[in-house]
Amino acid sequence: MNLALDIGNTRIKWGLYDHGRMTEHGMAGAGELAEVCSSHAWQRGILCATGAYSPADLGKEAHRVHIVTHRSRLPIALDYATPDTLGADRIAAACGAWAAHPGCNCLIVDAGTCITIDFVDSGGTYRGGAILPGLAMKFRALHTFTAKLPLLDNIDAQNAILTGRSTRESIQAGVVTATRLAVQGFANQYRKAYGDLHVMLTGGDAETLWGTGLLDIDNCTIHPWLVLNGLNEILNANEE
């Protein structure tokens, strides 16, 4: 049994895998890593982290956990100028996309604290991508860098309208529409450059963006556990 751990900026996602099939999954708070590790039966573990953590948080199980870096054995090739700066979650998502659609061009949109856009070509090579602010970051920036705009702490992005008729609605319309058009634009540009393309949407805000009903992207699907699936693929590639 494999345990995959994705430590983000706000939460931990975990999944248990038996012969390549996810059998159990869940989420935990940022300080609950040791509890996740100790409360499940597993033989091998793997971890990627964009949020803060300490190897000591793994407790006595640390020796059984592979920490993903660009030096890990991967099922894909990396064509990136600064691989040591490439986030392990982006590597894992790319591996998950390749496992889901081998031999195809894949564009991964990971809508979390930041939104990352990553491209894996049909030959199984990761080519790079883009990083832009996520929904919550954009809302916070409008409040932080202005004198009067409010911080929207109850984001109703799924019901955002195109033309805001109040300041609150205008902020939501601007943030959600800008994000939608950015994601849509990236997908269209990659499709123009590379032809057939699978667009895979994941991350904490994936359902929110999808639920607006405004994403107009051909061949786009949601994959909530894409990073975990990729971690399991990497772990299998690094099996001794």
Domain count of the fold of the chain: 2
Tell me how crowded residue 22 is: count the other CB atoms within 10 A of its CB.
Answer: 15
| Mean pLDDT value across residues 60-78 | 91
Element (H, E) at 36: helix 33-38
Q: What is the mean pLDDT of the chain?
A: 90
Strands (E) across the chain are located at 2-7, 12-18, 21-28, 44-49, 65-67, 77-78, 106-111, 114-120, 125-133, 198-202, 220-222
- 23/139 same-domain check: no
**Owner of token pair 């700066």:** 85
**Domain range for 41:** 1-67
Is 159 among the domain residues?
Answer: yes
Is 230 among the domain residues?
Answer: no
- 93/203 same-domain check: yes
Percent of the chain with pLDDT over 70: 96
CB under 8 Å to 123, separation ≥6 — which residues? none
Is 199 among the domain residues?
Answer: yes
| Mean pLDDT value across residues 105-126 | 96
Q: Is 27 exposed, middle or buried (0-12, 13-18, 19+ CB in 10 A)?
A: middle
- 103/176 same-domain check: yes
Is 74 among the domain residues?
Answer: yes
- 16/84 same-domain check: no
**pLDDT given at position 20:** 87
Question: Is it the case that residue 81 has pLDDT exceeding 90?
Answer: yes
Pseudo-torsion of CA 45, 83, 219, 131, nearest 10°?
110
- 46/94 same-domain check: no
- 186/118 same-domain check: yes
CATH of the domain at 6: 3.30.420.40
Query: Of 89, 110, 118, 205, which residue is the catalytic one?
Result: 89
**pLDDT given at position 72:** 95
* The overall pTM is greater than 0.85: yes
Is 234 among the domain residues?
Answer: no
Which one of 11, 36, 67 terminates a domain? Answer: 67
Is 126 among the domain residues?
Answer: yes
Question: Is it the case that residue 202 has pLDDT exceeding 70?
Answer: yes
Instruction: Please confirm, yes or no, whether 89 is among the known catalytic residues.
Output: yes
Q: How far is CA 64 from CA 21, 58, 67, 114, 122, in A?
A: 20, 9, 10, 30, 33
Strands (E) across 33-122 are located at 44-49, 65-67, 77-78, 106-111, 114-120
- 175/113 same-domain check: yes
Question: Is it the case that residue 82 has pLDDT exceeding 80?
Answer: yes
When pLDDT is cut at 50, 70 and 90, the band that residue 214 belongs to is low
**pLDDT given at position 54:** 75
- 15/97 same-domain check: no
Question: Is it the case that residue 237 has pLDDT exceeding 70?
Answer: yes
Which one of 28, 51, 67 terminates a domain? Answer: 67
Pseudo-torsion of CA 15, 17, 23, 25, nearest 10°?
0
- 182/127 same-domain check: yes
- 121/208 same-domain check: yes
Tell me how crowded residue 7 is: count the other CB atoms within 10 A of its CB.
Answer: 21
- 63/74 same-domain check: no
Question: Is it the case that residue 240 has pLDDT exceeding 70?
Answer: no
| Mean pLDDT value across residues 90-107 | 97
Is 152 among the domain residues?
Answer: yes
Pairing mode, if any, of strands 44-49 and 2-7? parallel
Tokens of 56: 């000591």
Is 60 among the domain residues?
Answer: yes
Which one of 49, 67, 85 terminates a domain? Answer: 67
- 194/106 same-domain check: yes
Residues counted in the chain = 240
| Mean pLDDT value across residues 69-92 | 96
The rounded distance, in Å, linking the Cα atoms of 28 and 185 is 34
